[in-house]
Structure 1
Amino acid sequence: MQALSYTATAKALHWLMAGLIFTGAAIGLSHAYMSTGAMLFWLNVHYAIGLCVIALSILRLAWRATHAVPPLPATIAALLRHLAHGTHLVLYGLMVVVPMSGALSYFARGKAMDLGLFQIPPLLARNPHLASTMLQVHGWLAYGFIAAIGAHIGAALLHQFVLGDEILSRMLPKGFIRLPPLPRRAKATD
């Protein structure tokens, strides 16, 4: 019999990556409004987050491939099941491709990546055209990733609070407060 909830490891990876991706996106969206010194610091944080997301994505995909996913409730229509599956495939793909495109953009500058405690040497010869192109690709993919994350969050909230099938509860940490669905309005009778 399949579990009704994700494993503790799957939940930990999900929420750790959610925090890292949210932070990385916030830095990516706001760095242009920072002073030069602050921007350089936060971009290094952004790069480090990207590398962590790549590593954690590989771990998460390996975990997902070797551990059963809890089944969706039987009340969920086939179309919604296909949409959920497709959205998850897009999210997993973008978890890898967005930070990889950013890393490719960075390394195409021919520079070492300074992460404070250590440096990653230049992995590519300097190629300004590739760096510029990949930076644009990274930006557009990141916007798509943000949209897919928004759809994912919206669907989880819809299922939890409106449809009441507790999809969100399957990914919440053990002992987290139970989130009941919103109360249903009574139907008006004539």
Structure 2
Amino acid sequence: MAHHYHPIAIWLHWLMAIMLAIVCLSMEFISLYPKGSSGRTLMLSTHYLLGLVIVILAFVRLWFWWRSKPVENPDQGPMQKYIARAVFILLYGLMITLPIVGWVDIGLWDVSVSAFGWQLPQIASPDSVMAEELSQVHILMAKTGYGLVGLHGTAALYHHFILKDATLKRMLPRFRQRLS
């Protein structure tokens, strides 16, 4: 068992946390811009493209997690281990399925997305009724993700301030040296 998270795991964790925040904020701020404006287009493009990058990085992180030594965890009770595993599965499930659902949804809305001159293929035929329903599913999944991220952050703070263990510090790059 390893005592620390690998620097790549730490880097990917925080990169994806920032990207998830930007994806969420882009949709929260979209209403500030009128339809057809460059600001609204920027918010939508940011949302779409980072969503696509997130699904790719989720697979990279899972592959890296699978190939790495398990990290020694503080002594946890069975309920804490169960909740941690469930949140892990749900978070990764959402990081993979939510962008895919969004990709299908933009196809149903007959919206095209391009990045760096590459056109994202349409994977659904236009259907405005189905698009509206899938949009609601996408939003519900995103709100579930907000809750899971909040639970994840709360657990990290619980470990740091209540249990006073090194769980949070091990995921912060600057503390890695002190824990060796």
Common fold: TM-score over 0.5? yes
Distance 2:110 2:125 in 1: 5
Tell me what 1:172 maps to.
172
Q: Distance in 2 between matches of 1:34 and 1:116?
A: 24
Q: Could you list the per-position Cα deviations for residues 123-179 of structure 1 after superposition, in whole angstroms to 9, with x for gaps in the alignment?
A: 322122222221111100000000100010011011112210121112111556969
Q: Deviations over 1:33-82 (max 9, x none)?
A: 323311122111110010000110111111112222212112x2221111
Alpha-carbon shift at residue 11 of structure 1 (Å): 1.0
2:13 equivalent in structure 1: 14
Structure 1 vs Structure 2 CA RMSD: 2.0
Partner of residue 3, structure 2: 4
Query: What percentage of aligned pairs have identical amino acids?
Result: 28
1:26 aligns with 2:54: no
1:59-107 CA-to-partner distances (Å, cap 9, x unmatched) read: 1111112222212112x22211111111111111111122111111112
Relative to the length of structure 1, the TM-score reads 0.85
| Residue aligning to 1:184 | none
Superposition pairs of residues 152-167 of structure 1, within 5 angstroms: 152-167=152-167
Aligned residue number for residue 58 of structure 2: 57
Moved more, 47-56 or 163-172: 163-172
Letter in 2 for 1:26: L
Question: CA 1:94–1:121 in structure 2 vs 1: closer, same or farther (change >3 Å)?
Answer: closer
* Residues 1:169 and 1:111: Cα distance change in structure 2 (over 3 Å): same
Distance in 1 (alpha carbons) for counterparts of 2:98 and 2:145: 8
Instruction: Say if 1:6 and 1:171, in contact at 8 Å, map to a contact too.
Output: yes
Q: Do the aligned residues in 1 keep the contact of 2:4 with 2:176 (CA within 8 Å)?
A: no
Which residue identity is paired with 1:17? M
TM-score (norm 2): 0.89
**SS where residue 4 of structure 1 aligns?**
coil
In 2 relative to 1, CA 6–125 (structure 1 residues): closer, same or farther, beyond 3 Å? Answer: same
Unaligned runs of 5+ in 1: 180-190
Q: In the alignment, residue 151 of structure 1 is paired with which amino acid? A: L
**Aligned residue identity for 1:14:** H
Q: Which amino acid aligns with 2:85?
A: H
Show structure 2 runs of 5+ residues with no match: none
Which structure carries more helix by proportion?
2
Q: Which residue of 1 aligns with 2:88?
A: 88
